[in-house]
Structure 1
Amino acid sequence: MAPIILSRPRILVLLIALGIIATSLVVTSDHHNYWGVFDGAEPLDIPPPPERPPHMKNEDEILLEKLAIIFPVNNNTDMQFYRNTWMGDFLHPVCDWDEPGCKIVCNETSTYQTLDKKTFCFSRALKGQEDYKQMEFFIKLDDDSLVDKEYVLHLMRNNTGSNKPVYISDHTRLRDKGNPDTLDQVLYGNGKFYMFNHVLVDCLNTDFTYHGSRNEDLVFGGMVNSGCGGEKNVLFIQEDDNYIWHKEYKNKNKYIDLAFIKNH
């Protein structure tokens, strides 16, 4: 067989082709880290992904961390509805018996006639449970009511840091001849919504006594009057019902019955 004789141009073409093939192998092996199968291979110097900056809480988020919405519930309460509103993260359901999601448990079956006992139950929890001592504001809300988020933030901004007990609601009075020294003509808030600060919680008289079964909201007013000094010392603020909805919500293309099943 005759020897293969390559001319100089052919040799140059062959060398160029071999160089291209070798370069491709090196690049491919770097990309796929083929060299890593050998002992002592240097790891690829791949920089870590950039760290995402931590979420900076705004003023509203910081305020709302200090809010607890006290929410007495019963078998008809639609928790799914309320958890899907802005209030969902701040709800503290008050339950008769311990169930998933309950924050305050009274261990007693309540009826419409015994809701005053449920009010004592959550009031004692607010005074005694450690996690509530970090809160600045509380809202007691009925399960057939809604309140506007921006309105609540407005109230919090205006009253944060107050050294006086703050009690926000649609206040009224009631004659109570059966309890002339404790409940008669006491100023108290409407139960659909009342809001108060931690200073008021600290002075609530949860050992307050009276005769007979009474409206639970009147009884809360009695605890305020007895423990906090009533109208002499408490800052009573009238609520704005343009931002609170009771039993129904109507706005633009929405009309929602908030009390479709009556509790009493």
Structure 2
Amino acid sequence: MLIIAGIVLTSFILTADHHNYWGAFDDSSQYLSTPVLTIDQQLAKKLAIIFPINKNTDMQFYRNTWLREYLYPVCDWREPGCKIVCNKESTYHTLDEKTFCFSKEMKNFSDKEFFIKLDDDAFVDRDYVFELMRKHSGSKKPVYISDHTRFNDPANKDSLHEVLYGNGKFYMFNYNLVKCLDTDFKYEHRPRNEDAVFGGMVRSGCGEKNVEFVQENDDKIWHKEYKNKNKHIDLAYIKNH
């Protein structure tokens, strides 16, 4: 009997994999091999950094920072790496037109929840950005994060005068704000500060009373120069304008 039992047990073991006898039990290894995304990783998939560039922009620098995976360069003409192309030569005096260009394109990015408009002579702390994303993710309201101020423009009294807008070095906002932007916003006297024009699109399309304006933490954002501990970097060595 022992001999017969041994033969049966040996046969069972040898054929178990073939017949998947063990399938009745959970194979935990398949779960171990599938990485679980952290909250930050999930949020990261929903971030786009809108990055207007020109011939002096050092893309090598930014592509070697944490910003790399999220950069959406805004270019005048199509070239490698460009995510948004305006097909028009831009200058310092036509940056308001470039702002209309990327604002219209952002409406197509419904897979993103957060956007940052960042100047090419600015830098922002990664942990701070993800802190803001965690705090405002899922908000039902349009969210607009920056250092806001009122624009003084009596010549455009009915459109841009007294509009509340964010500092151009950095402003962050959610897709709810993008959806209500008035990208057909009109003003008579041009050119005008491009960031004030973005604020005009917000006021005209979203209504300031409907927007959650959030004050940025300037200690986490660097403009024109980066200074921290043993680092001092000129972010605007070649002046763009």
TM range, normalised to the smaller chain? 0.7 to 0.9
Please point out which of 119, 128, 135 is paired with 1:151. Answer: 128
Matching residue of 1:82: 62
For residue 174 of structure 1, report the CA deviation from its aligned partner.
1.8
Alignment partners' CA distance in 1, 2:158 and 2:47: 33
Alignment partners' CA distance in 1, 2:34 and 2:212: 39
Among all aligned residue pairs of Structure 1 and Structure 2, give the percentage whose two residues are the same amino acid: 67
TM-score by length of 2: 0.86
Q: Which runs of 5+ in 1 are unaligned?
A: 1-49
Please point out which of 146, 169, 180 is paired with 1:169. Answer: 146
Please point out which of 60, 63, 66 is paired with 2:40. Answer: 60
Structure having the larger proportion of residues in strand: 2
Alignment partners' CA distance in 2, 1:85 and 1:237: 26
User: What is the aligned-residue RMSD (CA, Å)?
Assistant: 1.1
Alignment partners' CA distance in 2, 1:121 and 1:101: 17
| Matched residue type, 2:89 | T
Alignment partners' CA distance in 2, 1:193 and 1:221: 13
For residue 256 of structure 1, report the CA deviation from its aligned partner.
0.3
For residue 56 of structure 1, report the CA deviation from its aligned partner.
2.3
For residue 55 of structure 1, report the CA deviation from its aligned partner.
2.6
* Number of positions where the alignment pairs a residue of Structure 1 with one of Structure 2: 211
TM-score by length of 1: 0.78
Query: Highest CA radius of gyration, 1 or 2?
Result: 1
Q: Which runs of 5+ in 2 are unaligned?
A: 1-28
For residue 54 of structure 1, report the CA deviation from its aligned partner.
2.6
CA shift digits 1:112-137 (9 cap, x unpaired): 0000000000000011x3xx111000
| Matched residue type, 2:239 | K
Matching residue of 1:34: none
| Secondary structure of the structure 1 residue equivalent to 2:164 | coil
- Which 4+ residue blocks in structure 1 deviate beyond 4 angstroms? none
| Secondary structure of the structure 2 residue equivalent to 1:113 | helix
Q: Determine whether 1:225 maps to 2:225.
A: no
Q: Determine whether 1:119 maps to 2:99.
A: yes
Alignment partners' CA distance in 2, 1:58 and 1:233: 31
Matching residue of 1:239: 216
Structure-to-structure mapping, 1:203-214, within 5 angstroms:
203-211=180-188, 212-214=190-192
Please point out which of 30, 52, 61 is paired with 1:72. Answer: 52
Matching residue of 1:139: 116
